[in-house]
Amino acid sequence: MKVHVPRKELSDTLGYVERVIPNRISNPGLHLIKLELSERGLIFSGSNMDIDILAKLSADVEGSGTFALPAQVFSQVVKALPGDLVTFDFESSELEIAAGGYATRLQLVDAAAAPLLHFPDDYEGSLDAEQLGRALGNVRYAAAVAEYQAIFRGVKLELQDGRTRAVATDGFRLAYYNLAETSGLLGDIVIPARSVEEITRLLTHAHRVKGGEVALQLSAPQGGNEGSGGSFGQLSMDIDDYKLNVKLMEGSFPDYERIIPNEFPVNITLDAKVLAETVSRVAVMADRTANNRVDFFIKGGVVQITAEGSYGRSQEALPVSQEGSDPEMALAYNAKYLVDALAPLKGELRLSFSGTTSPSVVVDLSDSGYLAMVVPLRTG
Amino acid sequence: MKVHVPRKELSDTLGYVERVIPNRISNPGLHLIKLELSERGLIFSGSNMDIDILAKLSADVEGSGTFALPAQVFSQVVKALPGDLVTFDFESSELEIAAGGYATRLQLVDAAAAPLLHFPDDYEGSLDAEQLGRALGNVRYAAAVAEYQAIFRGVKLELQDGRTRAVATDGFRLAYYNLAETSGLLGDIVIPARSVEEITRLLTHAHRVKGGEVALQLSAPQGGNEGSGGSFGQLSMDIDDYKLNVKLMEGSFPDYERIIPNEFPVNITLDAKVLAETVSRVAVMADRTANNRVDFFIKGGVVQITAEGSYGRSQEALPVSQEGSDPEMALAYNAKYLVDALAPLKGELRLSFSGTTSPSVVVDLSDSGYLAMVVPLRTG
């Protein structure tokens, strides 16, 4: 059974599939990649329990069959191949991979040893792939890292009629991104932050290659009742030649909207990049064991930013466009949280202060979809 | 006391000095950088015990004095500075660093707390900086890594009349690089491999900036008698605006020349890059726990390269220009050692086989200075 396939396309496709598949052999079968051969080409699939991935690749295939082999070693061989064209020759228990003068024989594994994966046939929803990638990618930083923070280690996706929103928070900061698009699905789901990285990588890639839409489908937890109590087990995506099943987190976000302030006595407008660079620079002196504290003093159209640590102190003044009352407003932030919140922004921002101890809000004046909230540090 | 200095030059110079100075404060004074101000500009210096470094920088200086401060935090501040021009303002116990609207105040430390460093006034030898950098850089890979291998963790520099040679070996492979230049110094010295990296970085940089010579000087161990028994404690270098003292290793290399074979029944000639890529590709299947073994079969102008491991096997045939007898010659190498030996080569190489169990030798047909030796693996 022979397959001829262009080397570059093979290597690119495998790159996406192989990233998902774990290298460790401790979990039987999970380190395997499955290859399905048919006259339409090759289908690769694998899983790490959190994400199932399937990728189609056009190829010149003689015959049909299903095989499995260790994903990492297969991928290493493919990355090392010379030339433009690769030939696979499937024999009883071995796969010969040949390219140029080079040939490798890999031991095949019984395809039944690979995980059994089900991808939906129908996708009831869809969104613009680039937009969904931007929404998830722009808020992912605000998700919690620590194990005990449970549901906050995920990114919530609100699929509503007339709006789609991605939101993440770790209790000290929050970010959301609104899409005016309707996905065609209804439900609130929480995607593990680690899976968000794989999703955004694939959405970005597929968008670059083809543009267009990603098809979406929600389904019940495996073995559970569909939609019982509004909970879903899995988000499935179909884009370009790739399909993903992403396992969702159980539980729900508390009502975060009530903690976002909506009255701001002081607002300043300035360039996002200038603010991020200034905060980073001043924070060099900040004490990492004391929350990377930087102090803001806002008065008369100038923001004075200062930091102090065991080696000394630093300061910088920035002219800003200020609305709202003098006298001087003084508050402190974790510099890292502020810099993270500014990272998705390219142009002018508005930073709005609700008070010295209540949350501040960042909005992007060139992209109304994004909002970030940062809770000031307690001082004094 | 004020200093005005261009930001980019300050940042570049400090980059070289700061790399050497350790970050840990456990060793009192060693984390400090010393600043000397005079009408000629700034002098930075520091040490990690293995290397002392001094760097001069032209600057507009009002006044004179000597100060010290923690190198890492100073360097971080300088890296973060905005604008083109930096102003230092030295006050009683603080240094104010200002650039653009940004200002930092760093606590100064008594200069007496910084290590007391002596750099020679006279340099009796010299070499072309680029050539010395190439000689050391091309053989460094062959130095041993393991602690117990003592002297083999260094690169030997043979300073002879009419020749300069850098050589390194870990017992399984060896590399030397000959310069036809005479340094003007006489002696065999061994430089710790870790220090070689800093030396080559600085030689490359200084050569790129100015070209030309590096001045060299050997001196006795501190507190010892100069040249007693032909042993030196320190190699000093002066290049461009930088000075280095490099602490030398004690002991001497055994006579390595007698183990380099000089009779080769079989020789092959081929492109170095092609061989390195082929060996890397085939070695994907090699067993990392079994010395990354790749097998070579040489016969009739063809080298067949194969590897076998727990996942399968791979092979590739390369046409070569062959001198010397058939029948087939079969031997095995650690793929990593062979690839390391080929890395410095750009064009054609000659690979010479003295036998199936005795060392093979690589020479660069476009650079007669380089020779590498690799000992075949014991097989069967």
- CA A322 vs CA A266, A268, A348: distances in Å: 7, 4, 13
| Distance of alpha carbon B341 from alpha carbon B353, whole angstroms | 15
Which strand ranges, in their side-by-side order, compose the sheet holding B41-47?
B65-70, B32-38, B41-47, B51-57, B242-247, B234-239, B213-219, B125-128
Where residue A106 falls among pLDDT bands split at 50, 70, 90?
very high
CB of B308 less than 8 A from some CB of A: no
Q: What is the dihedral of CA B284, B287, B293, B296, to 10 degrees?
A: -50
The interaxial angle of helices A193-210 and A7-20, nearest 10 deg, is 160
- Written as one string, the DSSP assignment of B260-283 is S----SEEEEEEHHHHHHHHHHHG
Where residue B370 falls among pLDDT bands split at 50, 70, 90?
very high
Residues B33-77: pLDDT tens digits? 999 999 999 999 999 999 999 999 999 999 999 999 999 999 999
CB of A73 less than 8 A from some CB of B: yes
Within 8 A of A80 by CB-CB distance, chain B residues are 280-281, 284
Does A312 sit within 8 Å of B106, measured CB to CB?
yes
| Nearest residue in chain B measured CA to CA from A315 | B103
Residue-level pLDDT at A56: 96
Within 8 A of B285 by CB-CB distance, chain A residues are 73, 77, 104
Contact yes or no for A287/A310 (Cβ under 8 A): yes
CB of A9 less than 8 A from some CB of B: no
Nearest to A6 by CA among A52, A39, A42, A45: A42
Q: How far is A318 from chain B (nearest CA, A)?
A: 8
Contact yes or no for B213/B129 (Cβ under 8 A): yes
Q: Which of A80, A313, A317 lies nearest to residue B101, judging by beta carbons? A: A317
| Distance of alpha carbon A190 from alpha carbon A153, whole angstroms | 9
The tokens for B292 are 């990354």
pTM of the complete model = 0.87
Q: Stretch B331-336: mean pLDDT, rounded? A: 97
CB of A182 less than 8 A from some CB of B: no
Omega cis (within 30) before A327: yes
Does A104 sit within 8 Å of B312, measured CB to CB?
yes
| Distance of alpha carbon A212 from alpha carbon B233, whole angstroms | 68
CB of A302 less than 8 A from some CB of B: no
| Distance of alpha carbon B361 from alpha carbon B352, whole angstroms | 5
Q: Using alpha carbons only, how large is chain B's radius of gyration in Å?
A: 25
CB of B7 less than 8 A from some CB of A: no
- CA B42 vs CA A234, A246, A266, A311, B238: distances in Å: 63, 59, 46, 22, 17
Other C-beta atoms closer than 10 Å to the C-beta of A11 total 17
Where residue A329 falls among pLDDT bands split at 50, 70, 90?
very high
Does A102 sit within 8 Å of B314, measured CB to CB?
yes
Residues A193-222: pLDDT tens digits? 999 999 999 998 877 767 789 999 999 866
| Distance of alpha carbon B226 from alpha carbon B220, whole angstroms | 4
Does A102 sit within 8 Å of B282, measured CB to CB?
yes
Best mutation target among B105, B277, B297, B303 (most A Cβ atoms within 10 Å) is B105
Q: Residue A51: pLDDT above 60?
A: yes
Q: Residue B227: pLDDT above 50?
A: no
Contact yes or no for B30/B113 (Cβ under 8 A): no
Does A94 sit within 8 Å of B314, measured CB to CB?
no
Q: Can you tell me which residue has the tokens 């080569």?
A: B345
Q: What angle do CA A77, A78, A84 make, to 5 degrees?
A: 130
Q: Residue B325: pLDDT above 80?
A: no
| Distance of alpha carbon B194 from alpha carbon B154, whole angstroms | 8
Contact yes or no for A9/A81 (Cβ under 8 A): no
Where residue B27 falls among pLDDT bands split at 50, 70, 90?
confident
- Written as one string, the DSSP assignment of A260-326 is S----SEEEEEEHHHHHHHHHHHGGGS-GGGTTEEEEEEETTEEEEEEEETTEEEEEEEE-EEEE--
| Nearest residue in chain B measured CA to CA from A106 | B312
CB of A85 less than 8 A from some CB of B: no
Contact yes or no for B255/B58 (Cβ under 8 A): no
Residue-level pLDDT at B229: 43
Residue-level pLDDT at A222: 61
Where residue A299 falls among pLDDT bands split at 50, 70, 90?
very high
Which run of H or E residues covers position A34? strand A32-38
Q: Which residue has the higher pLDDT, A53 or B230?
A: A53
Contact yes or no for A55/A75 (Cβ under 8 A): no
Contact yes or no for A220/A226 (Cβ under 8 A): yes
| Distance of alpha carbon B201 from alpha carbon B16, whole angstroms | 9
The tokens for B270 are 């081929």
| Distance of alpha carbon B149 from alpha carbon B249, whole angstroms | 12
Q: Which of A77, A285, A312 lies nearest to residue B284, judging by beta carbons? A: A77
| Distance of alpha carbon A105 from alpha carbon B278, whole angstroms | 16
Where residue B92 falls among pLDDT bands split at 50, 70, 90?
confident
First to last CA, chain A: 75
Which run of H or E residues covers position B139? helix B129-139
| Distance of alpha carbon B156 from alpha carbon B170, whole angstroms | 12
The tokens for B35 are 């600043």
| Distance of alpha carbon A164 from alpha carbon A131, whole angstroms | 10
Within 8 A of A288 by CB-CB distance, chain B residues are none
Q: Residue B226: pLDDT above 70?
A: no
Mean pLDDT of chain B: 92
SS3 B70: strand
Among the ranges given (A22-31, A155-164, B106-115, B120-129), the one the predictor scored with the smallest mean pLDDT? A22-31
SS3 A122: coil
Q: Stretch B322-345: mean pLDDT, rounded? A: 93
Does A80 sit within 8 Å of B316, measured CB to CB?
no
Residue-level pLDDT at A345: 96
The tokens for B49 are 């015990």
Q: Can you tell me which residue has the tokens 């081929």?
A: B270
The tokens for A324 are 């709202």
| Distance of alpha carbon B214 from alpha carbon B353, whole angstroms | 38
| Distance of alpha carbon B88 from alpha carbon B10, whole angstroms | 11
| Distance of alpha carbon B212 from alpha carbon B131, whole angstroms | 10
Residue-level pLDDT at B148: 87
Nearest to B221 by CA among B242, B194, B246, B195: B246
Q: Residue B81: pLDDT above 70?
A: yes
Residue-level pLDDT at A290: 84
Percent of chain A topping pLDDT 90: 84
Nearest to B319 by CA among A101, A227, A91: A101
| Distance of alpha carbon B301 from alpha carbon B326, whole angstroms | 9
Mean pLDDT of chain A: 92
Contact yes or no for A130/A118 (Cβ under 8 A): no
Dihedral of alpha carbons A267, A273, A278, A283, sign: positive
Q: How far is A74 from chain B (nearest CA, A)?
A: 9
Residue-level pLDDT at B96: 96
Omega cis (within 30) before B327: yes
Q: Residue B341: pLDDT above 70?
A: yes
Residues A129-146: pLDDT tens digits? 999 999 999 999 999 998
First to last CA, chain B: 75
Q: For the complex shown, is ipTM > 0.90?
A: no
Q: Using alpha carbons only, how large is chain A's radius of gyration in Å?
A: 25
Q: Residue A117: pLDDT above 90?
A: yes
Burial zone of A321 (CB within 10 Å; 0-12 exposed, 13-18 middle, 19+ buried): exposed
User: Rounded to 5 degrees, what are φ and ψ at A253?
Assistant: -70, 140
